[in-house]
């Protein structure tokens, strides 16, 4: 989400029609509980019932999922990559830090774009937002014709459920493919910021959904997108205060959210299906605290806006750290594979399941995509190894950075390494050839606003 949106956007958002926004027909009951799943084999040589003084060996790590799994996707809005498990010095998220120790932790994970409407759509569609049919407003809405991966899960017999905590999620079209999709009650709609505190209600709703046996007797996919770290940074009794800066206040919001996510993780662990459930934790974008003279998020795709946490805890997979660049574009194919659903050819990313289960990860490029909307210009970037090229507007200007030497992107490489700049430009051009950008539905209206621009 973001702030400072013209009132026309809200009007457009609230006024947009969406065929699928109304109450949904109750879905048929899910298939019998054949799904989760094959038990995790144990390396314990002794029958577990037999008393023994021999130390019990830990279960052997698996090289593939033990069967078709449930998947729980927890995304936390505006959660930066520099969290305590990644070296941040303040212990602001003890529950997620403990979770990270049991998970596959990615240290160079990227969101697809730098604000919710684009990042989340890309994550759900397994494609870049510029390629997805959409309205051209900042708070884009997505028609039924867009394929979101929960639709494929549902088709494969997976029960799908989601609870959301921002008014945008009501009309965005993200409910496609969900058997159960609810917005927490009592939130106010403010298109400039988010003053609601929603983690307690969100936790309650998530636990209610996950306690419904109709939803959890077979395979299921559940997605909860926690909102509290999004600005405004609201104070919470009993937390901090860590200080007066925006980052201090944001940190308190992260702690508050961590407390609730921690309760949800503990709840999941106690459930009979908990051992058959893969859990993914990530974010839709980062947050700026003065870097590049920016606050909050959106508008650009510098590192602090697009680097996010990515933690995957899957049954039988050993905890480890993967340092290669990865993108949320990989999550749709990853979730399909974990669930045991067939792969979808139109999805661009690659399933992370093989490397989560021990296959040596291979370096690959990451693409960032921020399409032009009613309120922002276009940005795209390619990350190749530790180099990054950002294209501004319709590829009118480029910035090349060495992320290893200059992680804050403070020094644009130009004449000091022309060969590198040329190489990155060529790679970028090749990358663009592979994208299938389309114009938003209301391009004509937007042209009036920015007449010299393409869509």
**CB of 116 or CB of 373, closer to Zn ion:** 116
Among the listed residues 1, 16, 278, 352, the single contact to Zn ion using CB under 5 A = 1
CB of 285 to Zn ion, least distance (A): 6
CB of 123 to Zn ion, least distance (A): 11
CB of 282 to Zn ion, least distance (A): 12
Number of CB atoms found within 10 A of residue 2's CB:
25
SS3 state at 366 = strand
**CB of 124 or CB of 421, closer to Zn ion:** 124
Dist CA 86 CA 90 (whole Å): 11
Among the listed residues 116, 198, 257, 334, the single contact to Zn ion using CB under 5 A = 116
Judged by CB under 5 A, the stretch of 109-117, 175-183, 200-208, 337-345 that binds Zn ion is 109-117
**CB of 233 or CB of 401, closer to Zn ion:** 233
Q: Which pair of structure tokens corresponds to residue 133? A: 């049919």
By the rule CB under 5 A, 284 interacts with Zn ion: yes
**Interface mask (CB under 5 A) for Zn ion, residues 72-101, using x and -?**
-----x------------------------
Dist CA 423 CA 416 (whole Å): 14
What DSSP string describes 181-243?
A: EEE-TT----TT------HHHHHHHHHHHHH-HHHHSS-EEEEEEE-TTSSS----TTS----
Judged by CB under 5 A, the stretch of 14-22, 44-52, 116-124, 252-260 that binds Zn ion is 116-124
**CB of 79 or CB of 317, closer to Zn ion:** 79
CB of 137 to Zn ion, least distance (A): 16
SS3 state at 322 = strand
Q: Which pair of structure tokens corresponds to residue 16? A: 């947009």
Sheet holding 277-282, edge to edge: 180-183, 159-164, 220-226, 70-76, 277-282, 307-313, 104-110, 320-327
Dist CA 299 CA 372 (whole Å): 9
Dist CA 225 CA 183 (whole Å): 11
- Residue with the closest Cβ to Zn ion? 116
Q: Tell me the number of residues near Zn ion by CB under 5 A.
A: 4
Judged by CB under 5 A, the stretch of 26-34, 114-122, 256-264, 345-353 that binds Zn ion is 114-122
CB of 65 to Zn ion, least distance (A): 30
CB of 115 to Zn ion, least distance (A): 6
CB of 284 to Zn ion, least distance (A): 4
Q: For the chain, what is the total number of helices (H) and then of strands (E)?
A: 13, 14
Judged by CB under 5 A, the stretch of 36-44, 68-76, 92-100, 111-119 that binds Zn ion is 111-119
**CB of 224 or CB of 401, closer to Zn ion:** 224
**CB of 169 or CB of 428, closer to Zn ion:** 169
**CB of 184 or CB of 341, closer to Zn ion:** 184
CB of 297 to Zn ion, least distance (A): 7
CB of 140 to Zn ion, least distance (A): 13
Dist CA 425 CA 76 (whole Å): 33
**Interface mask (CB under 5 A) for Zn ion, residues 226-265, using x and -?**
----------------------------------------
**CB of 30 or CB of 298, closer to Zn ion:** 298
**CB of 65 or CB of 286, closer to Zn ion:** 286
CB of 64 to Zn ion, least distance (A): 33
**By 3-state DSSP, what share of the chain in percent is helix, strand and coil, each rounded to 5?**
30, 15, 55
Angle between helices 246-270 and 94-101 (to 10 degrees): 50
**CB of 162 or CB of 216, closer to Zn ion:** 162
CB of 438 to Zn ion, least distance (A): 23
Q: Which pair of structure tokens corresponds to residue 178? A: 């969900």
**CB of 116 or CB of 162, closer to Zn ion:** 116
Judged by CB under 5 A, the stretch of 190-198, 277-285, 288-296, 384-392 that binds Zn ion is 277-285
State the distance between the two ends of the chain, measured CA to CA, in whole angstroms.
Answer: 22
Q: Which pair of structure tokens corresponds to residue 199? A: 């983690």
State the sign of the Cα–Cα–Cα–Cα dihedral 334, 339, 342, 346. Answer: negative
Burial class of 151 by CB neighbour count within 10 A (0 to 12, 13 to 18, 19+): middle
Interface positions with Zn ion (CB under 5 A): 1, 77, 116, 284
């Amino acid at each position: 989400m973001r702030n400072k949106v013209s009132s026309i956007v809200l009007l457009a958002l609230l006024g947009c029609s969406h065929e699928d926004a109304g109450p949904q027909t109750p879905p048929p009951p899910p298939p019998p509980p054949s799904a989760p799943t094959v038990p995790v084999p144990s390396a314990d040589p002794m029958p577990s019932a037999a008393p023994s003084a021999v130390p019990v060996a830990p279960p052997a790590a698996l090289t593939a999922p033990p069967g078709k799994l449930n998947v729980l996707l927890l995304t936390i809005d505006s959660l930066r990559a520099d969290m305590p498990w990644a070296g941040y010095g303040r212990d602001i998220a003890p529950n997620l830090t403990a979770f990270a120790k049991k998970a596959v932790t990615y240290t160079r994970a990227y969101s697809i774009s730098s604000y919710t409407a684009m990042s989340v759509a890309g994550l759900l569609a397994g494609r870049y937002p510029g390629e997805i049919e959409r309205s051209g407003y900042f708070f884009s809405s997505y028609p039924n014709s867009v394929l979101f991966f929960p639709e494929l899960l549902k088709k494969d017999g997976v029960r799908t459920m989601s609870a959301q905590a921002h008014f945008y999620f009501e009309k965005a079209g993200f409910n496609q493919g969900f058997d159960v999709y609810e917005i927490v009650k009592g939130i106010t709609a403010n298109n400039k910021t988010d003053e609601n505190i929603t983690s307690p209600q969100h936790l309650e709703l998530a636990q209610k959904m996950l306690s419904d046996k109709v939803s959890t007797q077979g395979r299921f996919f559940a997605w909860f997108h926690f909102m509290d770290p999004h600005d405004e940074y609201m104070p919470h009794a009993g937390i901090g205060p860590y200080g007066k800066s925006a980052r201090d206040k944001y940190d308190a919001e992260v702690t508050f959210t961590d407390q609730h996510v921690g309760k949800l993780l503990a709840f999941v662990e106690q459930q009979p299906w908990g051992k058959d459930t893969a859990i993914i934790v990530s974010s839709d974008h980062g947050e700026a605290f003065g870097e590049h003279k920016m606050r909050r998020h959106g508008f650009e795709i510098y590192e602090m806006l697009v680097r996010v946490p990515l933690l995957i805890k899957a049954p039988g997979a050993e905890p480890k750290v993967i340092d290669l660049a990865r993108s949320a574009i990989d999550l749709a194919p990853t979730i399909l594979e974990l669930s045991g659903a067939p792969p979808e050819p139109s999805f661009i990313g690659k399933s992370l399941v093989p490397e989560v289960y021990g296959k040596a990860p291979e370096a690959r490029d990451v693409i960032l995509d921020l399409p032009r909307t009613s309120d922002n210009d276009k940005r795209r970037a390619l990350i190749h190894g530790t180099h990054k090229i950002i294209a501004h507007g319709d590829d009118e200007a480029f910035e090349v950075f060495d992320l290893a030497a200059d992680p804050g992107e403070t020094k644009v490489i130009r004449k000091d390494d022309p060969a590198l700049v040329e190489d990155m430009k060529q790679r970028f051009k090749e990358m663009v050839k592979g994208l299938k950008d389309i114009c938003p539905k209301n391009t004509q209206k937007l042209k009036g606003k920015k007449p010299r621009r393409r869509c």
